[in-house]
Each structure stands twice: as structure tokens, then as C-alpha cells.
A and B are shown apart, each in its own frame.
Chain A
Amino acid sequence: MGLFDIFRKSTKHKAVFLGLDNSGKSTIISFLQEGRFIEHTPTMGKKSVDMEIGGTRMSLFDMGGQQDFRGLWLGELKSARVVTFVIDAAAPQRFAEAKGELDSLLPAIKEHKIHLLILANKHDIPSAVSLTKLINELKLFEVDNFEIMEISAKTGYGMADAFAKFYSLLTGEKVKKNVLAKAISVFDKGGTPIVTTYNKNEIERVAIEGGFLVAITQFSKMKMNEDEESIITFESEKNGTFVVAKSKNLIGSVLWTTDLGVPLEQSKSALKEMLAHLEANAACSDTNSIAFHVEHYCTNII
């Protein structure tokens, strides 16, 4: 240890991600890192990922979910602050197995006073069960103390809320997700509106206002070089600042206002991440697919 290392020493909070194989642990961790869905091969044994957010250092342990690796779980769990137990909500045939594994962890979780966060993943799959059903199926009402949330690490549904909860449990700081926009709209590359959303419960296939639409249409016709930042802002006296960005097949916009309390740059980044996510995961020629993905992803922005 160097002379001044004591001043640099900061606590690294440890969290372990557990759950059956194929439940989506690695995908959740990479979504937290990258802000978008990345498909993974299965995790061999375990791996750790270090993240630093707002000066808080976190070590996330991604534990392989296969039967052969479950013997490693307890060893890592004992020194963790948070156990995130991931369940594939669309695989009811494996609920009994998941419950068995969770039950075997509960004594150690209680003994070491570890926070338990259960994530019901794969909400994007139509056969995914509701939280109520999952709680009943796994008899989670018998578990002393836990938090449970519904997410999709594929579409992004609920990821920002889940991360805010995870971060609060890990650090003890009360945080909630930032609202980065008042509205989100997505258009095809010709400027035709596909979907506009004002909040996560309200999806409408309408545009916001006429002058804005004209700007979108003009923007769609602008030719841009690949290295040029394809993002513009459009001031509206009535509404606020529209940020408009272009990706390969889509145009997206967010409505930003000062009262959101977040920097404009943060909303710009969120818009770019959303477009990258849509390009990678939605069928860009299918408006229903785009609307579905926007509906899920916007839970992280609005």
C-alpha cells in the first residue's frame, strides 16, 4: 500500500446476481452497463464486473446458473450487500426449481443481513406471469423481507426503476430514476410518425405539433456523414426543447424542459441510447414492433 492510498480508499459495494441458468443475469448486468440489450452466451462459473457511479464503486458478481455452478453461490453471497435473484417469469415450468434454490439461500441471506431483490425478468414475452402470480407460485409471501420488480432486460422495461432500487439497497442512499423527457416520439426515416408517448401508460400514434412535424420532415431529408453528429434541437415556446436524433432507420425525439431538473446532454444521451437499442432489437420495418419496444424502453426515460 502506498503512503497516500489510505486517502484514496473507498468502499466497494458487492452484489451477487443469482438465479437459474437462462434467467437473464448477464443480460441485466450488461444492460446496466451499456443501456441496451446485448445477447450473451452462458456464463461459465462466475465473473465479476466493476462499475463506478457517482463515486460509488460496485462489484457485481454474475454467477453461472447451471446446476454445476450453484455450489459457488453461497461462498460469494456471504460477503455481499445485495442478492439479486433473477427469475424467468416466462418459464413457469422452472418455478419450483427456482423456489428450491431461493429457499436454500434464505438462511444465509437472513444470517448475514443481506438485502434481497427479486427481478421477474422477460416481461416482454407474452406468456410471462404477473407479479401476483409469481409471488403465489413461489410462495414469496413466506419470505421475510424482499423487494420484487418486473423487468425485461431485452426491451429495457422497468430497468431504470430496478436499478434505482438496486442502487438504494446497495448504498443505503435513497434514489429514484431521473425523468429525462416529457415526451418521446419515434418516426420512420422519412419523418412519418410511428409512436408518441407522454408517460409509460399512454401510447398514442400521434405527433405533438405541426411546426415540430415540419422540422422532423426537414431533418429526415438532411444528408449526414457518418462521423457527423446527427442530432439537432428545436425550440418550441409552447412546449420546451425538442431534441431530435437520427439513426439508420429511425428518427427519435424527446421533449426536454428545464423543470425536469436534468441536463439537456443527459436527455440527448438517453435518446441516442434508445435509438441504438431500437435499431438493434426492433424490426424497423414493423411499426408495431417499434411501438412495442418504445413502450417498454420509455419506462427508463419518462
Chain B
Amino acid sequence: MAFNIIENISLCRLGGFAGSNPEVLGSVLPISNTEERLLLDKALPHGIEPGKFVLERLNNKHIISYVFSMKAKEAGTRDDLASIAVVLPADKRVNVESFQILFKLVIESFVAEIDKVDVTKLKHMIERIYNGINKGEKISIDDVNIDVPSIVKSKKLHLVTEVERIAGRIL
């Protein structure tokens, strides 16, 4: 059951250390510097607090993010503000409400981990979420396993709406 719905997933951060600025730490698939700037404005909106889910629109894309605090590397430094942001096409094919439910369930399964792990692990995590949802496979991170197809089935989520084929009807 492949969904191929996520165009991009990124790990964004505003560091807690002195001299930081908003940055994209990693992306699947890669994005340009210009796209990074646009994404950061949506994935970490002004005034956002850790623990929030955000849905934003940018041109013909939906951007769904989960914002969290990321443990500082050095003791005595405040935590970073970070987000995992997913970019979806904003077309009729994509049911963004259903995707939000799935994304929330996936993230909530890993919330305890997300607050503890380092950047390297978070980069692996976004890659597995990308593959798990797009390919409709199990997402396994440490001891947590999420069976995406089972969630989609049990919650009756319609991530992708089949667009009616109109070829031949007009004539």
C-alpha cells in the first residue's frame, strides 16, 4: 500500500546557543537554499511553542509540522526549538485532514524519544517516517514500531483520493 504523498520531510531548528539562527538540519529529499528559507517561515512560525502541531500553506503545498524542544548538546545551554516538517502537494488528490491524523499518531508514538535523541538520530527518524508513510511500511525506531497500513485501515483514513478519470466522458 504505497501512498507516495510526502514530497519532502525536513528537520528544522532554532538553536538555543548564542549566535544561532533558524536552519534546516536535514531533508529528505534535498531542497534548495531558497526553499529552505520559505520552509523555515512555515515550519517554525513566529511565537510558536514546543509541543504544537502546525498546518500552513505555501503556494501549492501544505506544510505540516510538529514543534518540539531538542536537548542542548552542552550542559548549561538552553534547549533548541526544533520541528519536523512535512511538505505535501495541495491538490485534490491529497486529503490533508487524514494525513494530519496519521502524522499526529506517528509523532505521538515517538514523542518520548524525540525529546531525548540527538540530531543524527532525528535525521534517521525523518528518513524512516518519509519511507514508512510513502511506501506504506512499518516505521521502526528503537523499540517503537508503527504499522502505517494498519493505522490507515483501522482509522479509515483516506490519504489519497482517487481523482475521477474523465477521459472519454466529455465526448
Residue in contact with B16 in the complex, picked from A20, A22, A67, A91, CB distance below 8 Å: A22
Residue in contact with A21 in the complex, picked from B18, B45, B49, CB distance below 8 Å: B18
Contact (Cβ within 8 A) A47 B47: yes
Of B78-86, B118-126, B132-140, the stretch lying at the interface with chain A is: B78-86
Given contact pairs A21-B19, A40-B78, A66-B21, A46 touches B47 in the complex (Cβ within 8 A): yes
Contact (Cβ within 8 A) B46 A44: yes
Complex alpha-carbon distance, A23 and B44, angstroms: 21
Of residues 21 through 53 on chain A, the ones whose CB sits less than 8 Å from some CB of chain B are 21-22, 39-48
Tell yes or no: B148 within 8 A of A by CB: no
A-B pairs with beta carbons under 8 A, tally: 54
Contacts of B30 in A (CB 8 A): none
Complex alpha-carbon distance, A47 and B14, angstroms: 15
> How far apart are B54's CB and chain A's nearest CB, in angstroms?
11
Tell yes or no: A94 within 8 A of B by CB: yes
**Residue among B17, B19, B45, B69 facing the most chain A CB atoms (10 A cut-off):** B19
Contacts of A42 in B (CB 8 A): 14-16, 20, 78, 80-81
> How far apart are A177's CB and chain B's nearest CB, in angstroms?
28
Residue in contact with A66 in the complex, picked from B20, B46, B69, B80, CB distance below 8 Å: B20
Contacts of A286 in B (CB 8 A): none
Tell yes or no: A68 within 8 A of B by CB: yes
Given contact pairs A46-B46, A47-B46, A47-B47, A41 touches B80 in the complex (Cβ within 8 A): yes
Contacts of A91 in B (CB 8 A): 18
Of residues 43 through 74 on chain A, the ones whose CB sits less than 8 Å from some CB of chain B are 43-48, 66-68
Complex alpha-carbon distance, A283 and B146, angstroms: 40
> How far apart are B151's CB and chain A's nearest CB, in angstroms?
30
Tell yes or no: B48 within 8 A of A by CB: yes
Residue in contact with A39 in the complex, picked from B19, B44, B78, B80, CB distance below 8 Å: B78
Tell yes or no: B22 within 8 A of A by CB: yes
**Residue among A22, A41, A68 facing the most chain B CB atoms (10 A cut-off):** A41
For the complex, would chain B's binding face be called helix, strand, loop or mixed by DSSP majority?
Answer: loop
Complex alpha-carbon distance, A42 and B72, angstroms: 12
Contacts of B78 in A (CB 8 A): 22, 39-42
Q: B33-67, CB under 8 A of A: which get 1 and which 0?
A: 00000000000111111100000000000000000
Contact (Cβ within 8 A) A22 B47: no
Contact (Cβ within 8 A) B14 A66: yes
Of residues 62 through 118 on chain B, the ones whose CB sits less than 8 Å from some CB of chain A are 69, 78-81
Contacts of A67 in B (CB 8 A): 19, 21
Residue of B nearest to A26 (CB): B78
Contacts of A39 in B (CB 8 A): 78-79
Residue of B nearest to A88 (CB): B18
Complex alpha-carbon distance, A41 and B21, angstroms: 13
> How far apart are A33's CB and chain B's nearest CB, in angstroms?
14
Contacts of B14 in A (CB 8 A): 41-42, 44, 66
Contact (Cβ within 8 A) B46 A21: no
> How far apart are A199's CB and chain B's nearest CB, in angstroms?
31
Contact (Cβ within 8 A) B79 A41: yes
Residue in contact with A41 in the complex, picked from B22, B46, B69, CB distance below 8 Å: B69
Of residues 258 through 302 on chain A, the ones whose CB sits less than 8 Å from some CB of chain B are none
Complex alpha-carbon distance, A164 and B15, angstroms: 33
> How far apart are B18's CB and chain A's nearest CB, in angstroms?
5
> How far apart are A284's CB and chain B's nearest CB, in angstroms?
20
> How far apart are A101's CB and chain B's nearest CB, in angstroms?
13
Contacts of B47 in A (CB 8 A): 43-48
Residue of A nearest to B45 (CB): A44
> How far apart are B131's CB and chain A's nearest CB, in angstroms?
29
Contact (Cβ within 8 A) B46 A45: yes
Contact (Cβ within 8 A) B81 A41: yes
Contacts of A47 in B (CB 8 A): 46-47
Complex alpha-carbon distance, A48 and B21, angstroms: 20
Can you add 19 more A-B contacts, CB < 8 Å, to A42-B16, A44-B46, A66-B20?
Answer: A21-B18, A22-B16, A22-B17, A22-B18, A39-B78, A40-B78, A41-B49, A41-B80, A42-B14, A42-B78, A42-B81, A44-B45, A44-B47, A44-B81, A45-B45, A46-B47, A47-B46, A67-B21, A94-B18
Q: Return the 5 tightest CB-CB contacts between A and B, nearest first.
A: A45-B46, A47-B47, A41-B81, A22-B18, A68-B21
5 A-B residue pairings within 8 Å (CB atoms): A21-B19, A41-B16, A41-B78, A44-B47, A91-B18
